[in-house]
Structure 1
């Protein structure tokens, strides 16, 4: 039995500990904000925060989570930070097909918690593990810049 904190609730999983966190989140806990893009930890579509650290859930075994705190985009959506990021992504036109958006939002959150006043270079580095198939990077960078400027004191 693996017990961990998922989106601020203690949960238990009694299945195969080698199963990917991505699969457990989608199939067992019905959290579909995490997406499978590559299955190799390269695209960032499956990004979650584990103990505050941005992590690819497609290469994380659920057995490694005992006692950990996992936050998905669903667990973050009721916060003022998420609402600001959602708003700035929309205003900047950073949401195109939407497939990469949850992972980009999680990467932005991770960055802004660590560095609430990032430079453009900091933002580019923070989202470098996330692939946008629609090539909307400039708009995504603009959205994160706007969130940093408008969210002073929020992070």
Structure 2
């Protein structure tokens, strides 16, 4: 039997479980903040044991970082798509703002987690911003 075929259901199941955990974590971090959230409350919301959750994400810090990266990636991807269209700068900025507002509506908890992180000086995002966001912003400035 082909190894790829037999491992595909496991990979899909893992991805679904990780997404369930991330969704629950986003909700809990939005409601309680990083310091008020607990792995136990996130595990309970997902229906997993704490040990099972830690199999997927080894610490609260890693899980929080992933939640932040997910929302940032939505915004980065949105800007990259707009840049590919080749619109004039005014249209591009307008479209980006509308897109960001839409993401805030469809992912309110992720947006809240991100806003709280920024308000606190982005201690867990500094490296990620430097390696992922700044290169995209520099490219976007060149377009404008």
Normalised TM-score (structure 2) = 0.32
Whichever structure has more strand as a proportion of its residues is 1
Normalised TM-score (structure 1) = 0.30
Whichever structure has more helix as a proportion of its residues is 2
